[in-house]
C-alpha cells in the first residue's frame, strides 16, 4: 500500500523495476476493470462470433458518505479507498499529501528501519536537506565576501564572488526508535472525493454509492444531483422551486463540465491549488510523471444579465487583468507546465429554460473549449 518513494541515487535497474511495479499496480485507468479471458476457448470464440463479449466487468461498488460542510464525499473503508486511488487516482487522503498513506507513515515511524518511505517522508527529508544547505550557503557567502573585502582593502583587484562546484548534501542518518509496545494502530484516515469526482463515479460509471450523513441511507441519483448543487447556495434553498435553486451558473455544474471534458479525453484530473490554477492534468497519473498542463476554468456568461442577478461570485468570471495572467503563467512555467484556459459557456436563462437544471441534461448546453497560453519571446523565435 505504501509508495516506494523515488530517490535520486537509485540506479536505472531499480527505476525500471519500480516502473514495472507501478504499471502493475495502476493498470486500470478507471474503477471499472475489464478482465479479458486469457484462454481463447472454443466456447468464448463461439460467443464472440454471435456478438457476446466474454470479457468480465469488475465493478467494485464503493461506498461514500456525503459531507456538505467540507463539500466532499468521504470514503471510509480502506479497501474502497485503495481501489479508488489505484484505479484512476480519484480522491485525496485527508491526512496525507495525495494517496492515503497515514497508516503506513505511522507504521514506518514505529519500525526501526524504514525501508519504504512514503511521499510525505521524502518531502520532509528533502526540506531538511535544503534548509541545511541554505544555512551553509549563507555562511559561505559571508566568508567569501569577507575574503574579497580583505583583498580589496589591501589594494588587490578582486573579481566578484561566484559559486563553486557542488558539494554532496549532508547525509542524514536514520534515527533509531525504541520499539516500545504501543497500542495497535487504527486507521483514522479517509479518502476525500471532490464533488465533481464523486458525481463522475456515481453518474457515469455507477461504481459509487453515496450515503446521506444524517440518515446513513443511500441517496438516489436525483437527490445527489440536487444536494451537490445546494452546497454552494448559502443559505440553502428552502424548496426545490426556489429560484435560487435552479441556476445554470452553479459552481458545481461549471467545474463538472470542465472535469468531465478532460476525464473523458483520458486525462487524470487533480486539483491545482498549489499552482494558482483549478485543475492539473496528468497523462496517466501523478506517480508516473509530473503534470503537463495546468487548467484555469473561466466561466463565460452568454447573457450578461445572468451575471448581474447571480448569487454566486464565480471566480475568473470577470476578465483577467494582464498582471494576473502574467503571474499565473510565470508560476506555471517555472514548474514546466503549460497553462490552458478552459472557457465554459453558461447557457442563458432566456435561451434555455432553467427547469432543465433539475436533470443532468442541462450539461449538454454548456460548451467547453480550451486555449493554450504561452509566452512568446521574439529574441528566441527568430529562426
| CA atoms of 295 and 101, how far apart (whole Å) | 27
The catalytically annotated residue of 261, 282, 301, 366 is: 282
Query: Do residues 272 and 262 lie in contact, with contact meaning Cβ atoms separated by under 8 Å?
Result: no
Cα separation, 89 vs 82, in Å, equals: 9
Task: For residue 377, state whether it binds other proteins (rule: CB under 8 A).
Answer: yes
Q: Which of 261, 269, 294, 314 binds other proteins (CB under 8 A)?
A: 261
Q: Which of 92, 261, 337, 366 is catalytic?
A: 337
Query: Using CB under 8 A as the criterion, what x/- string covers residues 68-107 for binding other proteins?
Result: ----------------------------------------
CB 340 within 8 A of CB 296: yes
Contacts (Cβ under 8 Å, ≥6 apart) of 39? none
Element (H, E) at 295: strand 293-301
Report the run of H or E that residue 346 belongs to, with start and end.
strand 338-346
Q: Which of 39, 164, 173, 239 binds other proteins (CB under 8 A)?
A: 164
Nearer to other proteins, 104 or 210 (CB): 210
CA atoms of 191 and 85, how far apart (whole Å): 9
Q: Helix 251-264 to helix 221-230 angle, to the nearest 10 degrees?
A: 120
Contact between 148 and other proteins by CB under 8 A: the answer reads yes
Q: Determine, following the binding rule CB under 8 A, whether residue 288 of this chain makes contact with other proteins.
A: no
Q: Give the residue, chosen from 86, 247, 255, 260, that forms a contact with other proteins under the rule CB under 8 A.
A: 260
Q: Which residues of 139-169 are buried (b: 16+ CB within 10 A; e: fewer)?
A: eeeeeeeeeeeeeeeeeeeeeeeeeeeeeee
| Stretch 190-249 residues interacting with other proteins (CB under 8 A) | 203-206, 221-222
Is residue 290 among the annotated active site residues?
A: yes
CA-to-CA dists, residue 251 to 173, 299, 350, angstroms: 49, 9, 20
Among 133, 209, 285, 288, binds other proteins (CB under 8 A): 133
Q: Which of residues 309-338 bind other proteins (CB under 8 A)?
A: 319-323, 325-326, 329, 333-334, 338
Please state the separation of Cα 316 from the chain's center in Å: 20
Minimum distance, C-beta of residue 298 to other proteins, in the bound complex (Å) = 8
Residue number, 36 or 109, with CB nearest to other proteins: 36
* Nearer CB in complex with other proteins: 93/347: 347
Q: Which stretch binds other proteins (CB under 8 A): 15-23, 28-36, 68-76, 191-199?
A: 28-36
Cβ distance 199 to 363 under 8 Å? no
Active site residue 282: yes
Chain residues 165-184 in contact with other proteins, contact rule CB under 8 A: 165-167, 169
Only segment of 13-21, 135-143, 244-252, 269-277 that touches other proteins (CB under 8 A):
135-143
Catalytic residues: 282, 290, 337
Amino acid at each position: 500500500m505504501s509508495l516506494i518513494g523515488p530517490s535520486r541515487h537509485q540506479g536505472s535497474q531499480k527505476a525500471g523495476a519500480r516502473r514495472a511495479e507501478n504499471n502493475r499496480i495502476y493498470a486500470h485507468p478507471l474503477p471499472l476493470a475489464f478482465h479479458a479471458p486469457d484462454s481463447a476457448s472454443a466456447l468464448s470464440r463461439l460467443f464472440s462470433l454471435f456478438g457476446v463479449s466474454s470479457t468480465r466487468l469488475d465493478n467494485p461498488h464503493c461506498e461514500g458518505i456525503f459531507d456538505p460542510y467540507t463539500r466532499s464525499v468521504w470514503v471510509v473503508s480502506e479497501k474502497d479507498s485503495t481501489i479508488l486511488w489505484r484505479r484512476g487516482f480519484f480522491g485525496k487522503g485527508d491526512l496525507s499529501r495525495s494517496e492515503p498513506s497515514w497508516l503506513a507513515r505511522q507504521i514506518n515511524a514505529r519500525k526501526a528501519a524504514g525501508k519504504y518511505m512514503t511521499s510525505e517522508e521524502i518531502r520532509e527529508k528533502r526540506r531538511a536537506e535544503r534548509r541545511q544547505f541554505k544555512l551553509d550557503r549563507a555562511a559561505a557567502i559571508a566568508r567569501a565576501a569577507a575574503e574579497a573585502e580583505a583583498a580589496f582593502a589591501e589594494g588587490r583587484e578582486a573579481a566578484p564572488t561566484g559559486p563553486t562546484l557542488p558539494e554532496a548534501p549532508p547525509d542524514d542518518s536514520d534515527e533509531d526508535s525504541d520499539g516500545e509496545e504501543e497500542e495497535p494502530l487504527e486507521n483514522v484516515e479517509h479518502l476525500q472525493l471532490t464533488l465533481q469526482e464523486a458525481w463522475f463515479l456515481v453518474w457515469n460509471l455507477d461504481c459509487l454509492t453515496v450515503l446521506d450523513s444524517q440518515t446513513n441511507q443511500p441517496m438516489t441519483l436525483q437527490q445527489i444531483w440536487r444536494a451537490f448543487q445546494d452546497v454552494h447556495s448559502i443559505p440553502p434553498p428552502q424548496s426545490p422551486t426556489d429560484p435560487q435553486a435552479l441556476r445554470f451558473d452553479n459552481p458545481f455544474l461549471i467545474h463538472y463540465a470542465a472535469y468531465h471534458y478532460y476525464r473523458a479525453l483520458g486525462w487524470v484530473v487533480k486539483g491545482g491549488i498549489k499552482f494558482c490554477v483549478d485543475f492539473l492534468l496528468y497523462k496517466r497519473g501523478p506517480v508516473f510523471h509530473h503534470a503537463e498542463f495546468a487548467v484555469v476554468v473561466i466561466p463565460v456568461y452568454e447573457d450578461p444579465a445572468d451575471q448581474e442577478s447571480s448569487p454566486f461570485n464565480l471566480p475568473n468570471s470577470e476578465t483577467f487583468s494582464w498582471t494576473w495572467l502574467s503571474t499565473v503563467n510565470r508560476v506555471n512555467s517555472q514548474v514546466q507546465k503549460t497553462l490552458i484556459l478552459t472557457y465554459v459557456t453558461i447557457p442563458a436563462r432566456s435561451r434555455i429554460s432553467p427547469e432543465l437544471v433539475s436533470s443532468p441534461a442541462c450539461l449538454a448546453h454548456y460548451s467547453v473549449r480550451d486555449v493554450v497560453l504561452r509566452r512568446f519571446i521574439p529574441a528566441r523565435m527568430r529562426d
